[in-house]
């Protein structure tokens, strides 16, 4: 029977119900290092793509061992995974591999019965065992002519020898759980002449599933988020700042070349993060972005951002095109990573790099010009707007990208200094004041944890929100302290970064004394002001309580 006649026969028998499919197999040998060690995510990705195609993933018989199947013993710990009625992967047998295989054989017999009864329309096999644990189900699938998609080298060959009707096959190397799931559904959808648009981006996380019905897949361009990309890239910028601080220790001059290397590599990091987020293809998008970023280095941070976004937009199109042309999943993954990285990278390298580099220079020059024009005014205004910006959600979309853009140019930032002084130190002052003199015992515990994070990690300024929102006077004190600290930053010309321990900030600043002074000014105003307000409030409560008692 040909593929076409089988598809026609299947279509004639198909009722209004969704096509039902079952996953069988194991965590395998090579597969274990390509997602097989995370069965929940692996099965969740398949559930998700099945829903996008309008199929129901009704069951799974997936044996997951704690070691590669290439070197396991009968006593190796293992679990048997299935799919619940609402599409959630779960482990229902936990024991030795011998015990789990025994349970899997029982399930295999039941799956064979269901296939024979016409309850299952298709199979997905991953590193299956056609000679033992999956023998009955695959024999029934061969007898019924069920379409089967799968990966797994030798297991695929054995299944083919048994007469299993394979509609999409590939090895495992170079694939991920998400791209394999796309390949499986592409093969089954093509066989059944079903329109299928892969769901890319986001994360199923194993917390839920999609069972049947179409799943809306947002176009890749809707996943473009400058905020998300910059926040995701932040660790690389902090590493740069730490190396800068260490390089200023006497005798640590040998770290200067390391700083230069990290500075040059930042566009690659930004590009890789951007491509991964926009493409929704995990490692494939990451590789494409890294490749594009290498070629876009001359364009600076903005060049890396542009190349990564373009790589993320190109990658889904390439993988859909390759799978539509029946490329094996391994080849589709490799080609997607290569083309989606090369094409945008070369575009930036030959055409866009001068413009992105110039734009980055303009942003840096614009900030420097504003500070040069009126250091006091620039610092004061920047400090004043920081709290409204973070409360209103503008900080991560505007301020943080400016901080990282400046750091990508020189390793420190005017807005980075403002961040540390006007947000972190102000929050530290407010929270520490509530540790010293709190209004309630509960507030003291809350303030204590928040102040520790502020000073030791340079983040979590939201710790001061309860106190600022609970009393308008504290909020006003925060604005005054932020403005005063920002003014000192402007006057002294300090540039630094947040997201570091507060005591490290002066060491990466362009002026250690200026940064220290600015931090002390904002902290002192926030601490003293909040402490005074708390003293007034607690005394009024005490006086009111005393009057009530005497009455």
Q: Walk along the chain (551 residues) and give the pLDDT tens digit of each residue.
A: 444 444 444 444 454 578 999 999 999 888 888 888 899 999 999 999 999 999 999 999 999 999 888 878 889 999 999 999 888 999 999 999 999 999 999 999 999 999 999 999 999 999 999 999 999 999 999 999 999 998 887 888 888 888 999 998 887 877 888 889 999 999 999 999 999 988 876 544 433 333 333 333 567 788 888 888 988 898 999 898 888 888 888 888 898 899 999 999 999 999 999 999 999 888 899 999 999 999 999 999 999 999 999 999 999 999 889 888 888 888 888 999 999 999 999 999 999 999 998 888 888 888 888 888 999 999 999 999 999 999 987 888 788 888 888 888 888 899 999 999 999 999 999 999 999 998 887 788 889 889 999 999 998 899 999 999 989 999 999 999 999 999 999 999 999 988 889 999 999 899 999 999 999 999 999 999 999 999 998 888 776 665 656 65
Residue 354 and residue 236 in one domain: yes
Listed residues 144, 172, 192: the one ending a domain: 192
Distance separating alpha carbons of residues 178 and 380, to the nearest angstrom: 49
Residue 99: what pLDDT?
Answer: 95
Residue 545: what pLDDT?
Answer: 60
Residue 349 and residue 299 in one domain: yes
Inside any domain, residue 391: yes
Residue 177 and residue 46 in one domain: yes
Residue 247 and residue 320 in one domain: yes
Residue 85 and residue 30 in one domain: yes
Residue 207: what pLDDT?
Answer: 36
Residue 390 and residue 519 in one domain: yes
Distances in Å between the Cα of 498 and the Cα atoms of 93, 360, 417, 447 are 48, 21, 7, 20
Inside any domain, residue 1: no
Inside any domain, residue 4: no
Inside any domain, residue 12: no
Residue 379 and residue 516 in one domain: yes
Which residues span the domain enclosing 378? Answer: 374-547
Residue 468: what pLDDT?
Answer: 94
The two tokens of residue 471 are 């009393």
Residue 35 and residue 177 in one domain: yes
Listed residues 317, 352, 368: the one ending a domain: 368
CATH of the domain at 121: 3.40.50.9100
Inside any domain, residue 335: yes
Listed residues 192, 219, 240: the one ending a domain: 192
Residue 51 and residue 180 in one domain: yes
Inside any domain, residue 205: no
Residue 402: what pLDDT?
Answer: 86
Q: Which residues contact 309 (CB under 8 A, 6 or more apart)?
A: 224, 229, 274, 275, 278
The number of distinct structural domains making up the chain is 3
Q: Which pTM value belongs to this model? A: 0.74
Residue 547: what pLDDT?
Answer: 63
Inside any domain, residue 10: no
Residue 145: what pLDDT?
Answer: 94
Sheet arrangement for strand 122-126:
89-96, 77-83, 56-65, 20-26, 122-126, 147-151, 165-170
The two tokens of residue 380 are 């004061």
Residue 281: what pLDDT?
Answer: 85
Distances in Å between the Cα of 512 and the Cα atoms of 415, 480, 524 are 16, 23, 18
Inside any domain, residue 212: no
Residue 320: what pLDDT?
Answer: 87
Q: Which residues contact 108 (CB under 8 A, 6 or more apart)?
A: 24, 61, 133, 134, 135, 136, 137
Residue 183 and residue 311 in one domain: no
């Amino acid at each position: 029977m040909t593929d076409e006649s089988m598809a026609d026969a299947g279509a004639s028998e198909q009722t209004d119900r969704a096509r039902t499919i079952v996953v069988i197999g194991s965590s395998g040998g090579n597969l274990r290092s390509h997602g097989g060690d995370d069965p929940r995510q692996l099965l969740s990705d398949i559930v998700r793509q099945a829903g996008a195609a309008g199929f129901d993933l009704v069951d799974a018989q997936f044996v997951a061992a704690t070691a590669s199947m290439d070197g396991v013993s009968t006593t190796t710990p293992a679990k048997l995974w299935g799919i619940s009625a609402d599409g959630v992967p779960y482990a229902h047998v936990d024991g030795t591999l011998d015990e789990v295989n025994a349970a899997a054989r029982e399930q295999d017999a039941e799956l064979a019965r269901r296939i024979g009864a016409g309850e299952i329309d298709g199979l997905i096999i991953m590193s299956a065992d056609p000679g033992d644990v999956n023998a009955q189900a695959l024999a029934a699938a061969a007898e019924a002519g069920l379409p089967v998609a799968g990966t797994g080298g030798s297991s695929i060959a054995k299944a083919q020898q048994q007469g299993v009707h394979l509609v999409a096959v590939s090895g495992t190397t170079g694939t991920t759980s998400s791209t394999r799931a796309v390949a499986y559904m592409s093969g089954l959808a093509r066989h059944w002449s079903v329109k299928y648009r892969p769901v890319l981006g986001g994360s199923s996380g194993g917390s839920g599933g999609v069972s049947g019905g179409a799943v809306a897949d947002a176009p890749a361009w809707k996943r473009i988020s400058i905020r998300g990309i910059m926040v995701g890239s932040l660790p690389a910028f902090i590493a740069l700042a730490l190396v800068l601080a260490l390089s200023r220790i006497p005798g640590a001059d040998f770290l200067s070349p390391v700083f230069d290397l990290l500075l040059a590599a930042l566009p690659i990091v930004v590009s890789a993060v951007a491509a991964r987020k926009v493409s929704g293809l995990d490692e494939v998008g990451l590789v494409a972005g890294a490749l594009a970023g290498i070629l876009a280095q001359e364009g600076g941070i903005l060049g890396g951002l542009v190349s990564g976004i373009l790589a993320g937009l190109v990658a889904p199109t390439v993988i859909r095109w390759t799978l539509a042309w029946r490329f094996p999943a391994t080849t589709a993954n490799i080609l997607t990573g290569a083309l989606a990285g090369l094409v945008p990278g070369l575009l930036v390298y030959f055409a866009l790099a001068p413009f992105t580099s110039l734009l980055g220079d303009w942003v840096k020059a614009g900030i420097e010009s504003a500070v040069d024009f009126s250091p006091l005014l620039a610092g004061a205004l920047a400090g004043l707007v920081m709290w409204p910006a973070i409360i209103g959600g503008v900080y991560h979309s505007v301020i943080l990208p400016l901080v990282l853009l400046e750091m990508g140019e020189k390793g420190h930032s005017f807005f980075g200094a403002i961040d540390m002084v006007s947000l972190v130190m102000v929050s530290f002052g407010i929270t520490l004041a509530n540790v010293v003199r709190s209004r309630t015992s509960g507030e003291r515990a809350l303030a204590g944890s928040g102040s520790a994070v502020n000073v030791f990690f340079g983040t979590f300024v939201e710790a001061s929100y309860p106190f600022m929102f609970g009393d308008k006077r504290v909020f006003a004190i925060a604005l005054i302290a932020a403005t005063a600290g920002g003014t000192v930053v402007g006057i002294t010309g300090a540039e630094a970064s947040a997201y570091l321990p507060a005591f490290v900030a002066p060491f990466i600043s362009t002026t250690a004394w200026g940064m220290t002074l600015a931090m002390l000014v904002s902290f002192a105003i926030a601490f003293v002001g909040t402490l005074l307000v708390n003293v007034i409030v607690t005394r009024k409560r005490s006086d009111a309580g005393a009057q009530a008692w005497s009455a």
